[in-house]
Each structure stands twice: as structure tokens, then as C-alpha cells.
Amino acid sequence: MPCTVIVGAFWGDEGKGKIISYLALKDKIDLCVRTGSVNAAHTVWIEGKRYALHMVPATFVYEGCRLLIGAGANVHVAKFLEEVEATNVKNRIGVDCQASIIEEKHSMQDKISAHLKGLGTTGWGVGPALEERVRRTAKLAKDIPELQPYLTDVAVEANNAINAGKKVLLEGTQGFMLSLFYGTYPYVTGRDTSASAVCSEAGVGPTKVDDVLLVFKSFMTRVGAGPLPGELTKEEAIKQGWFEIAAGTGRERRSAPFNFEIAKKAAIINGATQAALTKLDALYPKCKGARTYDELPLEAKEFVKEVERQIGVPVVLIGTGPEALDIIDRRS
């Protein structure tokens, strides 16, 4: 490892929470910085219990991991405190002093702003909060009394850990095709979601990163408005077993087959060195629960090989079920 960036390749919902929680348990991650904001939920299944996390890093499943929220993130205070309680991580989580705050007024603005109508935002208030930050009028974490016990300098902590040879993970949120710069503008989020932006939000320079792990789902989904090449009808998606409900918002996800052109673009711009492929069992049900590559049926292996050939990056982790440990690990 020692420093790995995790990025979603499509429009979010690729299964980053599963991959991150697996790495936390398997590799015993020492420190994780979550970036982005409250509009993205990472789903973690552990011991039959489901967590949909908007603020707390998905590495919480490993009790030895220091959990951090970077300066580039936007903190929803109530949601943060609620999740800290639910995951019992009060003594090992920190928030950067300069992370900005999402206030109730931002959520209201998100729901009534004319220029946001039709874009399919989550309504959390992330866009208006980002606008206020750019205008230099935002509240910061250091201004919030309830956050005082958690304040820290995340960039210093992260870089010290990397320099000490510890295992560090930078947790990107949302998906690359929602990037403000590289996604399906204007149907995008209010920030860049690439690996470079994750590093920037966490305060870690690009020369400190060893691997960029790009997470693909075996088919594509997106919520909200905007193009989705090859989109299926809801009926077709249900028939294929691809119909999903978003973990964080409860919205229905639109579905489409895996798109190799989009996958190649994501691999190039993110500088991917490794790939993860989740929900292979949704394409090939015989894969469900497999823990070794040899257990996969031939057609599933051919699909994995085609992904590798097209994107030019090895698929090192393959998801075969919902639990954190339902993974085929092909590393070393």
C-alpha cells in the first residue's frame, strides 16, 4: 500500500463502501481520510448489519483505524454526530479545522433554487454550501462548538502517517462521471471527483500516492437526471436483477450495461493502477459468495479479462456478494 486513493468510476453507487471496508479489515488500514460531502452514502455490510454512511469513513469496521474528514470536505454537523454515535468511533475520528459546514439554509436553497431544478440533486444543500465557500463566507468546522472535540489538522496527520510507512487510504466519494470538470455537465456535482481532487481535499500531494484503485460496478447506475448510455427501462432492469434503490436517499437508480469507453476514460484521467469490480454476481449469479478466482464460471472470467484488456489495468478485487468479505482478492 502505503497510500491508496479510492475513486468511483461511473456515477457513484459502484460499491466503494464494500471495497473500502474489505481493505480496512484485510490490510488493517492505519488511517483513512474521507473527502466530498454528505450527498454520497457508502454502504457497508458487516456481520449482517447494514450501514449507509454519509460522513464517517467506511474503514470504521477496523477498530485500529484513525478516521478523518479532510479540509476539502463539507460537514453536515447533525449527520456527523449521528453517525459517530451509531458507529461508536467518538475516540478515533477527527475533522479538519477548515472543513466547511452545510447549514439548514443550504438544504432549503438546494430545494428551491431555479437553476438546480431538473439536475436531480440530493437536496442535502451541498451545492449552495460550496457556492458559499467559494464566496469566502462559509462557516468552518472550527466555528462550530459541537465539533471542538474532533478538530485536527488532517493534512498533517495524513502526511505524518505516510512518512512513517503506515497504511493510509484516501476515500473518494460519488463517481468520476459526476465530476464538475469531466462528467456529464451540467448533470454533475459541485466539485471534481477525480483521484487528483481526492488528494487535494485530503491534503496529500500526488507524489505521496502509491496506488489509485478505481471501483467499477459490473453494470452502471445513476440517480437523478442526465445521460446514461444504453439505459434500460425499469422493467428491463428488474428482469436483469439490476434494479437498485440508493442507500443514502432512497431514490431509484437507473441502470445500463457496463460501458467500456467510459471505463477507459475514467482509468486514463484518474491514473488508475488497479481496479475493483463489484456485483459480478448480478451479472453471473453462479459467482455469488465466491472467494477464489477459480470458482468463477468461464463467462465471468472472460468478462473480467475483457475489462482488464480494455482499461489496461489489472482487476485485483472482485465483489461477489454484499458482505465486506465477499471478495475475490487477486493481489500478489
Instruction: Report pLDDT digits (tens) over 129-149.
Output: 889 999 999 999 999 999 999
Contacts of 315 (CB under 8 A, 6+ apart): 275, 276, 277, 304, 307, 308, 330
Grid cell, residue 84, equals 459517530
**What's the whole-number mean pLDDT along residues 23-29?**
97
Contacts of 324 (CB under 8 A, 6+ apart): 18, 21, 22, 25, 44, 45, 46, 61
**What's the whole-number mean pLDDT along residues 249-278?**
95
| Polymer length in residues for the chain | 332
- Most confident range, picked from 129-133, 170-174, 239-243: 170-174
Return the residue matching grid coordinates 479532510.
70
pLDDT above 50: residue 306: yes
Q: What is the largest CA-CA distance in the chain?
A: 57
- Residue 300: the pLDDT is 97
State the total domains in the chain.
Answer: 1
Enter the pTM of the model. Answer: 0.93
Other CB atoms within a 10 A radius of the CB of residue 332 amount to: 4
Is residue 143 flagged as an active site residue?
no
pLDDT above 80: residue 116: no
In this structure, what CATH number is given to the domain that contains residue 149?
Answer: 3.40.440.10
- Residue 271: the pLDDT is 98
pLDDT confidence bin for 37, thresholds 50/70/90: confident
Q: How far is CA 228 from CA 118, 151, 249, in A?
A: 15, 40, 19
pLDDT above 70: residue 10: yes
Q: How far apart are CA 195 and CA 5, in angstroms?
A: 7
Other CB atoms within a 10 A radius of the CB of residue 140 amount to: 18
> Which tops the pLDDT comparison, 198 or 130?
198
pLDDT confidence bin for 114, thresholds 50/70/90: very low
Catalytic residue among 13, 96, 110, 192: 13
**What's the whole-number mean pLDDT along residues 150-161?**
98
- Residue 107: the pLDDT is 80
pLDDT confidence bin for 96, thresholds 50/70/90: very high
Is residue 42 flagged as an active site residue?
yes
β-bridge partners, 49: 46
Q: How much of the chain, in percent, has pLDDT values that exceed 70?
A: 95
pLDDT confidence bin for 257, thresholds 50/70/90: very high
Q: How much of the chain, in percent, has pLDDT values that exceed 90?
A: 80
Per the structure, the complete domain to which residue 175 belongs is given by: 3-329
Catalytic residue among 27, 30, 42, 106: 42
What's the mean pLDDT when you consider all of the chain? 93
pLDDT confidence bin for 106, thresholds 50/70/90: confident
pLDDT above 70: residue 113: no
Other CB atoms within a 10 A radius of the CB of residue 147 amount to: 21
